[in-house]
Amino acid sequence: MISSDYVTRFRQWRNGLDKTDRWCVMINADPDALASALALKRIFHNRAHSMEILRINEVTRPDNLAMIRDLRIPVKPWSPEKSAAFSHFAIVDSQPHHNRLFEDIPFSLVIDHHPLPPEDARPCPPEAFCFVRPEFGATSTIMAHFLNSLRIRPTPRLATALLYGIRTDTATFERGGGDKDLRAWQWLFRFADLNLLRRIIRSEYLREWLPAFSQAFRSLRDCRGGGVYVSLHHVKSADLLVGIADFFTKVQDLRWVAVSGIVDKNVVVIFRGDGGRDIGRLADACFHDVGTAGGHKMMGRAEFPLAAVPQDVKPADFILLRLQNRKLRHVRPRDQSA
Ligand SMILES: [Mn+2]
């Protein structure tokens, strides 16, 4: 639980809000940030003239798009000219030093669960409310605790958003999350719309990706150690490669998969493994000499300029040869990998 003095401080701070203020909550949109911004909007309801949610990034992931659409999250793109329309700024699930677009904004409210800011970061002004607590698995958890202690019952859409925020940041409690997150999960679950939640969870692919899937199946080649290699040509975004790689992790008996594509003038290879071997090390061993490569046990990524592929060799053949021949024992020590 959030210690009660913080809740008291937050309540007092909220009581001091001016109803004529025009608030902007800035986010780097992902499920946790979107849900947290929606919760903040609810907390500010009737306490401010308005609160708009503005994102500094493009939203491309299918589940994020589904979340915005199905939960009707009113998020708009940020541009610096828009700042004149607001009197106050908040930031959730990020801190001002995380992005240069946040840097010059005079934030009055910061709520985040990422690591504490470095010593030399701009300090939070005394009149602002800053709550940065890395012991929470998600900012959505913090927002759920604030809602609960303010006795605000979330609508089904808000509860669903916060559940999906916690689910994403903790990888369904597989890669993080503790008691606080679980307690928030249990509380939110009572209010959520589980049909909507299921629909968002299942939105893993974009319709426009389907031709690439057909190409992926045709390009499938076996690799050593129960792995497969899938090669695509030019793709709009690496999200598609991630989507395809994640799909193949669900095929029983495939131990690992590498999916490559060309994004702009770079070759991107996404690796996924079942944890039986360190797939990040394989990525590093295969491609460290041509670009950036690395990852961890179950996920890896390599990216290098297309120009690194010799002119008379197809990128797919270049990659396959390396996947087949690089030996793990040549891997550099972990701390030096990209
Ligand atoms: Mn987060």
Domains of the chain in start order, with CATH, are 4-202 (3.90.1640.10), 211-336 (3.10.310.30)
Is the model's pLDDT at 2 over the cut of 90? no
Which has more confidence, 98 or 330?
A: 98
Separation of CA 196 and ligand 1 centre (Å) = 21
CA of 175 to the centre of ligand 1 (A): 13
**Rounded to the nearest whole angstrom, what is the distance from the C-alpha of residue 180 to the centroid of ligand 1?**
14
Q: Measured in angstroms, how far is the CA atom of residue 5 from the centroid of ligand 1?
A: 23
The alpha carbon of 49 and the centre of ligand 1 are apart by a number of angstroms equal to 27
Centroid of ligand 1 to alpha carbon of 138 (angstroms): 5
**Distance from the CA of 146 to the center of ligand 1, in angstroms?**
16
- Tell how far the Cα of 81 is from the centroid of ligand 1, in angstroms: 27
Predicted model pTM: 0.85
Distance 145 CA to ligand 1 centre (A): 15
Tell me the per-residue pLDDT of 86-108, one tens digit each, with 9 for 90 and over: 999 999 999 999 999 998 899 99
139-188: pLDDT as tens digits: 999 999 999 999 999 999 999 999 999 999 999 998 788 999 999 999 99
Q: Which residue has the higher pLDDT, 332 or 30?
A: 30
What the block records as the tokens of 198 is 């299921």
Q: Cα(18) to centroid of ligand 1, in Å?
A: 28
Q: How far is the CA of 61 from the centre of ligand 1 (A)?
A: 16
**Distance from residue 48's CA to the centre of ligand 1 (Å):** 25
For 50-70, write each residue's pLDDT tens digit. Answer: 999 999 999 999 999 999 999
Binning pLDDT at 50, 70 and 90, where does residue 124 land?
A: confident
